[in-house]
Structure formats: C-alpha cells, structure tokens
Chains A and B, each alone.
Chain A
Amino acid sequence: MNNLLEVKNLNTSFKIGVGTVQAVRGISFHVGEGESVGIVGESGSGKSVTMLSVMGLLPDYADIRADSILFAGREMTQMTPKQLRAMHGSEIGMIFQDPMTSLNPLFNVENQLTEPLRIHMKMGKTEARQRALELLKQVEIPNPEARLKQYPHELSGGLRQRVMIAIAIACGPKMVIADEPTTALDVTIQSQILELLEHLKNTTKTSIIMITHDLGVIASMCSRIIVMYGGIICEEGSAREIFYEPKHPYTWGLLNSIPKINGNPDEKLIPINGTPPDMLMPPKGCPFAPRCRYCMPVCREYMAPRTQLGETHAVACHLMHPKAPKVEREV
C-alpha cells in the first residue's frame, strides 16, 4: 500500500496574549491509499489542530512547522495558498464536528453543495445541480429535489451532517478527514452516520481519517489507530493491536472508559482521573505522567522515546524500557 499522506515532525503552536500554546509537538504519521485511520484522544489533545495544520486551515497566528507533509507525492509545506486551495474540497474533503454551525445559514443546500463542483470541476449550473442530486442520493437523503432548495435550519442535525458529507465527497476526493463527525448527534443518528461513512469507504476507496475521542466509534471502521495525548502520539497500531495488545497506560485508560464490545452491560466504566495538561506550559516529561498510576520519576523528567513493537505498533512510554517494572493492564 502506497502512502497517500505522510506527515513528518509536525509542530503547531499558537501565540496568544499570555504565551504560546503548544498544541502539537512533533508528531509523525502516515495514511495509506484507501486506508482508514482513526485518531483518538481526549479533548484538547491536539487532534483537530493536527488535521487543520495539514490542511493549512488554521488562523494566521498559528505557527506551523513540519519537516515534511507529503500528499500524493507532493510537498504541501512548499505549496502556495492557491495550490493548497486547489486541493481543498477536491482532493481532500473535510467533515466537521457540529453540523448545526458548519453550514452557512443564509445559503440553501444547492448553493453550498454545488460550490465545490463549480469551483474545482468547473461545472455549469445544471450539471452541478444534477451531480448534487446524485450526491444527496449517495448520502441517502430521501427526496433530494426538495432538499436542494432547503436551508440548513430546515434540516435535522443528521441530515445536515449528511449534507456535509455530500459536500466533502462531491469532487471524489482521495482523502476525507472527519473531525468528530458524530459527537454532536443523537446516539441513533450517530450510528447511521457511521454506517454511511463506512459504506462510502467501502464503495469509493477513499482514505479516511476519523478523529474522535471515542474509541468505540472507530472500532469497526478503522484499520489503524493513532492515540494522541498532550500534543504527541503516545501509541499507534492496527485496530487489533490497540484493542487487544495496548501498551500505553493512557490507551488502557481510554479502553476502560468505553463499553466493551459484547461486554456485560452492567460492567463499570472507569474514567481516567485528572485533567489533560495545560498546553501553555506542557510538562517537560511525558504529558500523561501526572495522571498515570504507573508513573516513575523518569516520566516527569524526560519524554518517552518511541519504541517500535511491530511493523505497525509503536508506543511512547518509559515502561517499555527493559529495566522498567513489568506492569499489567488492570481490567
């Protein structure tokens, strides 16, 4: 499998009044062609900032540094705004968290859905309209003709998110980035949207990056999972590795906080105690150390090096050191 996206040593910070928020601190990852990758982590761990940095969609005061961001063999860090814009919405589609606010309230569905078609594929009005109807059918919106003329406030949250998905896939992108696409939706709608995304993934061979703070959401969909915390990647591996052989205490915490697949419904869920680090003054050691119950003195002083455990599995934790105590995940 060839790499579609390859990010090397990405650092993103925001200069704000009181200091610098170090939102992303040196992360590297890749996404293969047609592969679906999940990025999980608590709120504030830097998931959105990572993807927005890759897209070049952060505000001016963001300082984005990367050794390299390759997309389909092209170096994105060297691109002009115009070249980047030509990729946005055509080669890379994005779906955002809150469908209530992600659509412009003053333009109807047709206008917003045909916009990328008119911009990137230079379609005329009737042709774009025809394609928009097909797209609405593809995202399983009933009665598409009527929907085209409707405004966002006339649609339910689930329908709006379907429209967002239709916009993201309008130009047949190579990759779709979905940033918590189901967080703002009802549970029943959530599973429908996930099914739809999975269906699209299987039929269109598009790479998908699924950002979420809920491991359960990506269990069935993503072949590979990246676990982020405090602006760094603490563990990554295939879905099987993350779910069945997790090595990082933070990953254990995440797994204990979701209901088990086929598990006992009365089973107690264990939340992770404590709060995420303040990215204005990130700890110099492992960001998870203050909340980690296996924390050693070294954890507070030094970032853990990345330990490659297998072809896909890697973890950044001092417990991997040969002389570290052997600890077991408590379930």
Chain B
Amino acid sequence: MLKYIMKRLLAGVLTIFVLITISFFMMHAMPGGPFSPDEQKNVPPEVLERIAASYGLDRPVGEQYLNYWKNLLRGDLGISYKKQDTSVNSIIDIHFPVSARVGAVAVVVALLIGIPMGVLAALYRGKAMDMAAMVFCTIGISVPVFIISLLLLYLFAGVLQWLPSFGLTSWRHYILPVACLAFNPIAYITRQTRSSMLEALEQDYVRTARAKGVMELWVVGKHALKNALTPVITYLGPLVAGLLTGSFVVERLFSVPGVGRYFVQSVSDRDYTMIMGIVIFFGIFVVVCNLISDILLAIVDPRVKLNS
C-alpha cells in the first residue's frame, strides 16, 4: 500500500514539474505582452522597461526560470502583471474557497443523486424509471453546460422568479449554480453506475450471495454495489478537481466571485504570472485529487495493489 502511494506521489510530482516547466517556457515564447512597447503606445518606453525590470523580465530566461522556482518553493506565485498591487496568492486565497464551496456542494449533490439513480435504473432495467434516467443522461452528457445554465437561469430566476440569479449570500443562491455544475456529472455518474451495476448483478458472486440467503437489499447494496462503485471512485478524482476549481461559465453567469472566472479573465488580460500561478495551483490540485481517489480505490479494491 505504502509503495503504491509513493509511486503515485512520485508520478504526481513529476507531472507537476513538467507542467510548470512547459507553461513557463510557453508564456515566455509568446510574442508581445502587457509591457511590450508595440502594444502600450501611450506609455513611454522607459517606463515600460522599468516595470518589466521590476518583474525581473530583463534577465536571461534561464535565470528567470530558476528565480520562478525559488519563489515557488517558498509558496510565492508572484505579482499580477495586470494589477500591480495584487499577488497571485491573494487572488487564489480569496477566490478559490468560493469556487471550492460551490464545487464541493455540487460534488456531493452529483454523488447523492447519480449513484441511487444509476442503481435504480439498473434494478428496473427496461422499465419507465430506467428509460427516464437514460433520457436524462443523454441530455446531461450531450448538452453543453452553458445552455443548461441559461435555461435554468431563464426558467427559475427569470420566468418563475423562484430563485436568485446572482451572488452567494444565502443557501438559496447556491441552488442554481450547483444544479448547473452538477448536471453533467449526475448524468455521467448515473450512466456509469447503471452499467457497472448491471454487470455486477450478473456476476457469480451475486448468485453465491443469494445462495447464502443474503437479503436482496444486501445482495444489491453490499455485494453488487461495492463492485459497481469502483469506476465511480476512479472518476471521483477528475470530478472533484474539475468542480472545485470552478467553472468560468457558471461563475460568470451567476456572478459567483470564484477563481474560475479570474482564470479566464487573466488569459484575456495576458496576465502571465496570474495564468502561470493559477495553472500551477490547479495542476497540483488535480494531482492531489487523483492521488486521493487512487488511494480510495486501493482501499476499496484489494486487487489494485497487486497490478500497479
């Protein structure tokens, strides 16, 4: 088990190292930028040069790279190119928890709805319940999140006026953004649970459980479900990583002050330190989430330790 975790950890560290290096050099290979004289026509070139120097941009790229690492290892992601009094760390500190809160609720909702719905669809295979779930899944997987979001926003905040359309001041404010974020994952989890549940119910060990006189509820809820959930656990890492880092569309639409919005904005601002900082932060977050779901999987499925 420990060896398995160490291996995954090492792979994660390597991934992050590569991610940082590639994104650093890509940023620097990009022509132009916020301090390039061609773009800032009304600022005197000497001023631009001074600003650039204050960010260390006058140094050779190799040295900048090493400096970036030095700061990074102290946990310092640098200062925004755009807002020169704001550090990348402070943006993440303030806005990530907002995204993470909404995202975490969405993850819980997705699991609490997706798993039971998938199980029921499998148990009532071919019946109305199953059909309805499958139609929902097809919609949930194929319709893009911004269309779903607009529809929900229009319906519940616009026409019906049941729910607030922006901000995050009460629990009711969470409903629409969470629903939009969870929509696609619910569909995915339902479909996955249904198909792995159908497979599990066909297995010999389920017949063995019945031959032992195990109650049907436990045959399904213990013997089949635990096996059916292993693919869902694998999906948990990307799911948590994806939802907790926020969604640009949803945060923009519902005026949620999350980090997802800042990320996209920093791209259009060409705020390179901000982009780098958020990419690295997200990268580490994704790696950690995947590591946790890998460990979870190894706990649930004892066979994992062998073939990894």
Interface residues, chain A, with chain B CB atoms under 8 Å away: 55, 57, 81, 85-90, 93-94, 96, 98, 101-108, 115-116, 119-120, 151, 153-154, 164, 167
- Nearest 10 interchain pairs by C-beta: A89-B212, A88-B213, A89-B213, A104-B205, A101-B204, A94-B211, A151-B302, A102-B204, A116-B212, A85-B213
CB contact under 8 A between A86 and B211, given known A105-B205, A106-B302: no
Chain B, interface size category, equals: 20 to 34
Would you give the 0/1 interface string for B208-239, flagging 1 where the beta carbon is closer than 8 Å to chain A?
11111111100000010011000000000000
A235 CA to B212 CA, complexed, in Å: 32
A/B interface sample: 30 pairs, CB < 8 A: A81-B216, A85-B213, A85-B214, A86-B213, A88-B212, A89-B213, A93-B211, A96-B204, A96-B207, A96-B211, A101-B204, A102-B208, A104-B205, A104-B209, A104-B226, A104-B227, A105-B301, A105-B303, A106-B226, A106-B300, A106-B301, A108-B302, A115-B212, A116-B212, A119-B212, A119-B213, A119-B214, A119-B215, A153-B303, A164-B208
Shortest Cβ distance from A98 into B: residue: B204
**B306 interface contact, C-beta 8 A:** yes
Is A116's CB under 8 angstroms from B213's CB?
yes
Task: Find chain A residues with CB under 8 A from B215 CB.
Answer: 85, 119
Task: Find chain A residues with CB under 8 A from B204 CB.
Answer: 96, 98, 101-102
A101 CA to B199 CA, complexed, in Å: 13
**B265 interface contact, C-beta 8 A:** no
**B90 interface contact, C-beta 8 A:** no
Task: Find chain B residues with CB under 8 A from A93 CB.
Answer: 211
A154 CA to B305 CA, complexed, in Å: 11
A57 CA to B216 CA, complexed, in Å: 12
Shortest Cβ distance from A92 into B: residue: B211
Shortest Cβ distance from B223 into A: residue: A104
Is B302's CB under 8 angstroms from A153's CB?
yes
Is A106's CB under 8 angstroms from B227's CB?
yes
**B161 interface contact, C-beta 8 A:** no
A87 CA to B212 CA, complexed, in Å: 9
A89 CA to B212 CA, complexed, in Å: 4
**Contacting residue for B210 out of A57, A98, A105, CB 8 A:** A57
Chain A CB count within 10 A is highest, among B214, B215, B216, B226, for B214
A194 CA to B192 CA, complexed, in Å: 42
Is A88's CB under 8 angstroms from B301's CB?
no
**Contacting residue for A115 out of B207, B214, B227, B300, CB 8 A:** B214
**Contacting residue for B208 out of A90, A104, A120, A153, CB 8 A:** A104
**Contacting residue for B213 out of A96, A105, A120, A151, CB 8 A:** A120
Is A88's CB under 8 angstroms from B208's CB?
no
**B203 interface contact, C-beta 8 A:** yes
Is B205's CB under 8 angstroms from A103's CB?
yes
Is B205's CB under 8 angstroms from A101's CB?
yes
Is A89's CB under 8 angstroms from B211's CB?
yes
A90 CA to B214 CA, complexed, in Å: 11
A119 CA to B302 CA, complexed, in Å: 25
A103 CA to B300 CA, complexed, in Å: 16
Is B301's CB under 8 angstroms from A55's CB?
no
Would you give the 0/1 interface string for B292-308, flagging 1 where the beta carbon is closer than 8 Å to chain A?
00000000111100100
Is A101's CB under 8 angstroms from B303's CB?
no
Name 5 extra pairs, CB < 8 A, besides A57-B211, A164-B208, A167-B212: A85-B215, A102-B208, A115-B209, A119-B212, A120-B213
How many Å from the CB of B45 to the closest CB on chain A?
A: 67
How many Å from the CB of A52 to the closest CB on chain B?
A: 8
Is B306's CB under 8 angstroms from A153's CB?
yes
Task: Find chain B residues with CB under 8 A from A94 CB.
Answer: 208, 211
How many Å from the CB of A220 to the closest CB on chain B?
A: 26
How many Å from the CB of A184 to the closest CB on chain B?
A: 11
A316 CA to B213 CA, complexed, in Å: 36
CB contact under 8 A between A88 and B227, given known A96-B204, A101-B205, A106-B300: no
Would you give the 0/1 interface string for B19-63, flagging 1 where the beta carbon is closer than 8 Å to chain A?
000000000000000000000000000000000000000000000
Is B213's CB under 8 angstroms from A103's CB?
no
Task: Find chain B residues with CB under 8 A from A119 CB.
Answer: 212-215
Shortest Cβ distance from B300 into A: residue: A106
Task: Find chain B residues with CB under 8 A from A104 CB.
Answer: 205, 208-209, 223, 226-227
Task: Find chain A residues with CB under 8 A from B209 CB.
Answer: 104, 115
How many Å from the CB of A280 to the closest CB on chain B?
A: 21
How many Å from the CB of B28 to the closest CB on chain A?
A: 49
How many Å from the CB of B48 to the closest CB on chain A?
A: 63
How many Å from the CB of B125 to the closest CB on chain A?
A: 10
Is A90's CB under 8 angstroms from B207's CB?
no
Shortest Cβ distance from B207 into A: residue: A57
Task: Find chain A residues with CB under 8 A from B211 CB.
Answer: 55, 57, 88-89, 93-94, 96
How many Å from the CB of B222 to the closest CB on chain A?
A: 8
Shortest Cβ distance from B230 into A: residue: A106
A89 CA to B209 CA, complexed, in Å: 9
* Docked complex: B162-208 residues within 8 A CB-CB of A: 203-205, 207-208
A115 CA to B223 CA, complexed, in Å: 11
Is A101's CB under 8 angstroms from B203's CB?
yes
A103 CA to B227 CA, complexed, in Å: 12
